Amino acid sequence: MSSASSSAGPSRSPSPAANGNTDTSDEPQKTFADLGVNEDLCSACEALGFKFPTDIQVAAIPPAMTGRDIIGIAQTGSGKTAAFSLPILQTLYDDPQPFYALMLAPTRELADQIAKQVQALGANIGGVRVALLVGGMDMMHQSLALAKRPHIIVATPGRLMDHLENTKGFSLKALKYLVLDEADRLLDLDFGPIIDKLLKVIPKERNTFLFSATLSTKVEKLQRASLSKPVQVKVASKYSTVSTLMQYYVFFPEIQKDPYLFYLVNELVSSSMIIFTGTVDRAQRLSIMLNRLGFAAIPLHGQMSQSARLGSLNKFKSGGRKILVATDVASRGLDIPSVDLVINYDIPSNSKDYVHRVGRTARAGRSGKSITLTTQYDVVMLKGIEAAIGRQLPAYDVDKEAVAILSDRVSEAARAAKLEMREQGTGGAGGKRGRDKGHRGGYDDRDRDDDVVQGGMPMRKKSKRGGRGGRR
């Protein structure tokens, strides 16, 4: 459809320096007004600190405003959220109607962040109503929000499908815009069947925006199935990291992994950092171990309740804790401006996930640092990452004698952490798993987290009644 008017808007990254390496040529810096953003939206951008549009916004907003479908490829932190939100808000301003746009995200945390930014960007255009539909939250409360006929719905796929099938009177037959953020991850997490089902119940005459930091063959296949003559806007190579990010690796024997982690945390204690692990079990264990070693670390993973996850995230964002130990549930799209350092405790299994992890730092033009712990078993994967991002990582300087001195202390804390986990029955495949209650549908089971898929956490079989309470 082509109901777009000649206006557009800003981004979640407040500075054009966030663009990093782009395919765009050097031109005089544009303003949001230059892109046709109306005065009210420009004021909202200014209030959020968005002084100038980023490259992805400059590239995507004009064709989006003319009613074209968009495939937007840009590195994380480059302003994708506002790039797809502002054209929608502009046209909604001209023609307000309920259930106008649907924005899908792969994780609860990213969906929550998108909803908050859309609400903030639309604050000056007459009270934009935004509903957030994610697993782990009460469905009845969400049903009441849908009864108020919101303009924009931000959702994870499983919970959205539950509402479409179980919430009386809710449909998307009048939908004008569909947005798939982190589209490749949506498809990687087996949301394809849900998205296919969704495409059958929404109007064919609509605008569709696909945005991601990486472009996969699955996204290209979805493009052919759901988009009409799309414009591809690209301001990054397939696997790119920003130029303000300093990237390193540390090589050591597998058995010394915990002491090396403790050494790095101790040396860089003044930094706000995210430590990424490959499994829920390790995220929980390392957070306990670091606390026993005197560092106030908090975990974030998909086996925590939704309220606990948001609590950890908000505490880290506010500076209440400086160390977040997380699975890949925290690697996608989350905008935490104050992250100085990313440590890959477990090397990611593919280059795409590496780009998203290290993209949590060096955002919005700031500098940042990443260190990937590499054992004798990880060399091939490290070389693959280097080939994909087009640069060779230098070794980070480590005092090996200092690591050796710390080993006994770390081993004792690691043993205590394992014992505490066994006693509490937390983490791992053998412990208790946080479940959200009050769920009546079965699709939330697919709204699981990256750590369940990538980290090897076994999925429990769904009962015929379907109710585990939504992971996303």
Whether the predicted pLDDT of 195 surpasses 70: yes
Please tell me the least confidently modeled range out of 221-235, 302-316, 354-368, 435-449: 435-449
Please tell me the least confidently modeled range out of 295-304, 355-364, 404-413: 355-364
Q: What is the pLDDT of residue 20?
A: 36
Mean pLDDT taken over the chain:
83
Q: What is the pLDDT of residue 285?
A: 97
* Element spanning 94, H or E: helix 80-94
Query: 3-state DSSP call for residue 298?
Result: strand
Nearest-angstrom CA–CA distance, 141 and 143: 5
Whether the predicted pLDDT of 472 surpasses 50: no
pTM of this structure: 0.67
Nearest-angstrom CA–CA distance, 109 and 156: 10
Higher pLDDT, 329 or 201: 201
Whether the predicted pLDDT of 365 surpasses 80: no
Nearest-angstrom CA–CA distance, 155 and 444: 11
Q: What is the pLDDT of residue 438?
A: 37
Confidence tier at 333 by pLDDT (50, 70, 90): low
Q: Dihedral through CA 175, CA 181, CA 184, CA 190, nearest 10?
A: -60
Q: Closest Cα to residue 80, out of 107, 103, 47?
A: 103
Q: Which two tokens stand for residue 336?
A: 């935490």
Q: Closest Cα to residue 112, out of 15, 181, 173?
A: 181
Q: What is the pLDDT of residue 68?
A: 94
The share of the chain scoring above pLDDT 90, in percent, equals 60
* Element spanning 210, H or E: strand 207-212
Find which of 15-29, 218-232, 454-468 is predicted with most confidence, using mean pLDDT: 218-232
Which domains, and CATH codes, for the chain? Answer: 16-234 (3.40.50.300), 245-424 (3.40.50.300)
For 14-55, what is the HEC assignment?
A: CCHHHHCCCCCCCCCCCCCCCCCCCHHHHHHHHHCCCCCCCH
Q: What is the pLDDT of residue 74?
A: 77
Q: Which two tokens stand for residue 189?
A: 């997490």
pLDDT digits (tens, 9 = 90+) for 160-177: 999 999 999 999 999 999
Check residue 389 and give left, alpha or beta (phi > 0: left; psi -120 to 50: alpha). Answer: alpha
Span 364-389, mean pLDDT?
92
Confidence tier at 27 by pLDDT (50, 70, 90): low
Q: Which two tokens stand for residue 359?
A: 């993209």
Q: Which two tokens stand for residue 32?
A: 């949001």
Whether the predicted pLDDT of 100 surpasses 90: yes
Residue with tokens 């953003």: 37
Q: Closest Cα to residue 262, out of 292, 298, 284, 301?
A: 292
